[in-house]
């Protein structure tokens, strides 16, 4: 079962990701999704990215934000859905809430659904 990471910085997450053979933060991946990684880290594992992937069929969509969770092995999980938040403020507010919820145990990783869920749902 994946374990949530306990990192000191986003730079440490990037280093762990790369040293474990993962490519989430590679230059090619970042460029493909026009991804920016925000430096604020909540509870040692939650951070925000913003993306504006190119669209071959229409005008490039506006930049949107995603809340991410760093796992102990450097793997990156998405909380909710990709590009869930329209504003930076919304994403950071959710990331801060999630970091606190993971720390106090009201949200946990469910290995059956591969998602982060409230512990009330996991008790059922």
d(CA 47, CA 75): 13
Higher model confidence: residue 94 or residue 105?
94
d(CA 75, CA 95): 17
Q: Specify the pLDDT at position 122.
A: 46
d(CA 1, CA 13): 19
Q: Specify the pLDDT at position 55.
A: 75
Over residues 15-71, the pLDDT tens digits come to: 999 999 999 999 999 998 899 999 999 999 999 999 987 777 777 788 999 999 999
112 near 122, Cβ under 8 Å?
no
Is the pLDDT assigned to residue 111 strictly greater than 50? yes
């Amino acid at each position: 079962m994946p374990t949530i990471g306990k990192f000191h910085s986003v730079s440490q997450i990037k280093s762990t990701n790369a040293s474990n053979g993962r490519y989430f933060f590679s230059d090619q991946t970042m460029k493909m999704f026009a991804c920016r990684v925000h430096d604020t880290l909540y509870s040692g594992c939650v951070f925000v990215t913003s993306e504006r992937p190119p669209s071959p069929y229409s005008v490039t969509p506006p930049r949107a934000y995603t809340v991410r969770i760093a796992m102990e092995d450097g793997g990156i999980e998405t909380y909710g859905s990709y590009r869930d938040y329209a504003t930076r403020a919304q994403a950071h507010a959710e990331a801060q809430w999630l970091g606190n919820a993971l720390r106090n145990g009201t949200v946990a990783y469910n290995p059956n659904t591969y998602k982060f869920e409230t512990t009330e749902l996991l008790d059922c």
